[in-house]
Amino acid sequence: HDSCSFILKVGIRGKDIVVLGVEKKSVAKLQEERTVRKICALDEHVCMAFAGLTADARIVINRARVECQSHRLTVEDPVTVEYITRYIATLKQRYTQSNGRRPFGISALIVGFDYDGTPRLYQTDPSGTYHAWKANAIGRSAKTVREFLEKNYTDEAIASDNDAIKLAIKALLEVVQSGGKNIELAVIRRNQPLKSKEIETLVAEIEKEKEEEAEKKKQKKSS
């Protein structure tokens, strides 16, 4: 029973940025943290976070990485996010319809930018279906987080890159214990490769904003 399904992952599609936020599970004292990778790059412009059996995910990610390069070789263009999502979904579906095999036990969030600059976010599930999303969550308490996103995902909320990142952090903070130590973020900006994001300062900003909101409410009540 893999621990990965208990980890919350949030994906947000901004205007010029896509954000993947992952809850950092506390590891055993002697365990090397570096070996627990939940956000994986499939190509320079596409990355994927998964919930489910890590071992199954490894196979899918490897096949997807090879397909990204094969596409570059055959067609001379980088894959579109939809193409690689379709490939992964087709791969998963084939394993639901052949004898002697079991389906892949993972759901994946695939984010990235297409060649023409459009940001994309897709989710796949073990049956092999895939859908495009503006913002989504998978893993532990995904339902709660999705409800939060439904209320708070507006055009103003993602107006700038930082706003989109803050929204992802706020969504994670709904469920995760507060503190930058428990959140791992990856962002892709148009024409830039995957980057891990500095959390501490942004989390501090969000905490400050929350305090200010609480203050305002108190003042309203008192007046």
Q: Which helix (H) or strand (E) holds 50?
A: strand 46-52
The whole-angstrom separation of Cα 120 and Cα 83 is 11
**Considering the rule CB under 8 A, would residue 94 count as an interface residue with another protein?**
yes
81-94 vs 54-75: helix axis angle to the nearest 10? 130
Site string for another protein, 32-71 (x = CB under 8 A): -----------------------------------x---x
Among the listed ranges 72-80, 119-127, 171-179, 206-214, the one in contact with another protein (CB under 8 A) is 72-80
Considering only 31, 33, 77, 193, the residue that binds another protein (CB under 8 A) is 77
Nearer to another protein by C-beta: 49 or 89? 89
**Considering the rule CB under 8 A, would residue 100 count as an interface residue with another protein?**
yes
Considering only 53, 59, 91, 206, the residue that binds another protein (CB under 8 A) is 91
Torsion of CA 201, 203, 207, 212, to 10 degrees: 60
The whole-angstrom separation of Cα 47 and Cα 179 is 25
Site string for another protein, 162-201 (x = CB under 8 A): ----------------------------------------
**Considering the rule CB under 8 A, would residue 83 count as an interface residue with another protein?**
yes
Considering only 50, 87, 113, 148, the residue that binds another protein (CB under 8 A) is 87
Helices (H) and strands (E) in the chain, counts: 5, 10
Long-range contacts formed by 218-221: CB under 8 A, 24+ apart: none
Nearer to another protein by C-beta: 67 or 125? 67
**Considering the rule CB under 8 A, would residue 116 count as an interface residue with another protein?**
yes
CB 40 within 8 A of CB 201: no
Considering only 3, 62, 69, 90, the residue that binds another protein (CB under 8 A) is 90
Long-range contacts formed by 63-67: CB under 8 A, 24+ apart: 63/87, 63/88, 63/91, 64/88
**Considering the rule CB under 8 A, would residue 80 count as an interface residue with another protein?**
yes
Q: CB 91 → another protein: shortest distance, Å? A: 7
CB 157 within 8 A of CB 166: no
Residues that bind another protein (CB under 8 A): 67, 71, 74-77, 80, 82-83, 87, 90-91, 94, 98-101, 116
